[in-house]
């Protein structure tokens, strides 16, 4: 049973045949600019929810957890996401304000990881994010908090059909 499961996993399709190229020598100096252009290409390629990413956090004892979130903005404050302050990740971020994001776009064989420290953004910006949610009904949620991850490291990864996968790292 476990052998057939292992073989079934082994036989699953890998990256698609046609992958975009990526030349790190031509990459912009600003990683945010590269992220925006990759996001545009993901949208053009029909990637569903390209703004979804996994966020890993750790509690004070170093125990890790991760979950999917939605990117809300990218500006001088950092990479924005929002959640409840009383959620597990909210509590972990109060105890240990560091996190790692990972975006993965299977159709393009692209992965982007971003890690750094996390700050809370203003009450006004948090309330606006809550209001703007598609399911918003005008009611307030004082526990809702907009955060910004301020990267120390960003790595863009492009799968290559001949397995010479390409990595481009920014250290900030
Ligand atoms: C694609 C996707 C997007 C999500 N976006 C958010 C989000 O932006 N904010 C949020 O609080 N939860 C979001 N969730 C739910 C979280 O993954 C998670 O289940 C929830 O926030 C509780 O996480 P925690 O118990 O680790 O704190 C999303 C889930 C998925 C699958």
Name the residue of 70, 93, 145, 149 to mutate for ligand 1: max ligand atoms within 8 A of Cβ: 70
User: Within a domain: residue 126?
Assistant: yes
* CB distance 55 to 35 below 8 Å: no
Give me the pLDDT at residue 163, please. Answer: 85
Q: Which atom of ligand 1 is nearest to the CA of 49?
A: 1
User: Within a domain: residue 40?
Assistant: yes
| Distance of alpha carbon 121 from alpha carbon 55, whole angstroms | 17
The share of the chain scoring above pLDDT 90, in percent, equals: 94
Give me the pLDDT at residue 162, please. Answer: 87
Q: What is the pLDDT of residues 121-170, one digit of tens each?
A: 999 999 999 999 988 888 999 999 999 999 999 999 999 988 899 999 99
Q: What is the DSSP string of 1-25?
A: -HHHHHHHHHTS--S-S------GG
Residue of minimum CA distance from atom 14 in ligand 1 = 69
User: Within a domain: residue 9?
Assistant: no
Q: Mean pLDDT throughout 58-81?
A: 97
Residue of minimum CA distance from atom 19 in ligand 1 = 67
Residue 49 binned pLDDT confidence (cut-offs 50, 70, 90): very high
Classify the phi-psi angles of 65: left when phi > 0, otherwise alpha if psi is within -120 to 50, otherwise beta.
beta
Q: Mean pLDDT throughout 51-61?
A: 97
Q: How many domains does the chain have?
A: 1
User: Within a domain: residue 3?
Assistant: no
Name the residue of 68, 80, 96 to mutate for ligand 1: max ligand atoms within 8 A of Cβ: 68
**Domain span at residue 64?**
26-150
User: Within a domain: residue 140?
Assistant: yes
Residue 114 binned pLDDT confidence (cut-offs 50, 70, 90): very high
Task: Provide the 3-class DSSP secondary structure of residue 103.
Answer: strand
Among 34-38, 105-109, 119-123, 132-136, where is mean pLDDT lowest? 132-136
* Segment (H or E) for 141: none
pLDDT at 1 over 70: no
* CB distance 116 to 149 below 8 Å: yes
User: Within a domain: residue 100?
Assistant: yes
- Ligand 1 centroid–CA 52 distance in Å is 10
Q: What is the β-pairing status of strands 144-158 and 110-120? A: antiparallel
Q: What are phi and psi of 100, to 5 degrees?
A: -130, 130
CATH of the domain at 83: 2.30.110.10
User: Within a domain: residue 55?
Assistant: yes
Give me the pLDDT at residue 101, please. Answer: 98
Q: Mean pLDDT throughout 5-32?
A: 96
Q: What's the mean pLDDT when you consider all of the chain?
A: 96
End-to-end CA distance of the chain, in Å?
Answer: 48
Q: How far is CA 31 from CA 34, 79, 170, 171, in A?
A: 5, 11, 7, 10
- Ligand 1 centroid–CA 171 distance in Å is 28
User: Within a domain: residue 129?
Assistant: yes
- Ligand 1 centroid–CA 49 distance in Å is 13
């Amino acid at each position: 049973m476990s052998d057939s499961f292992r073989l079934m996993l082994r036989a699953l399709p890998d990256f698609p045949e046609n992958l975009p190229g990526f030349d790190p020598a031509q990459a912009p100096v600003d990683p945010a600019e590269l992220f925006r252009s990759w996001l545009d290409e993901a949208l053009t390629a029909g990637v569903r929810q390209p703004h979804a990413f996994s966020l890993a956090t750790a509690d004070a004892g170093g125990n890790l957890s991760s979950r999917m979130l939605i990117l809300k903005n990218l500006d001088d404050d950092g990479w924005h996401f929002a959640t409840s302050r009383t959620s597990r990740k909210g509590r972990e971020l109060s105890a240990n304000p560091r996190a790692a994001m990972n975006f993965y776009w299977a159709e393009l064989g692209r992965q982007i990881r971003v890690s750094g420290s996390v700050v809370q953004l203003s009450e006004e910006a948090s309330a606006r994010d809550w209001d703007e949610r598609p399911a918003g009904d005008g009611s307030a949620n004082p526990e809702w908090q907009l955060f910004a991850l301020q990267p120390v490291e960003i790595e863009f990864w492009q799968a290559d059909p001949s397995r010479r996968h390409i990595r481009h790292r920014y250290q900030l």
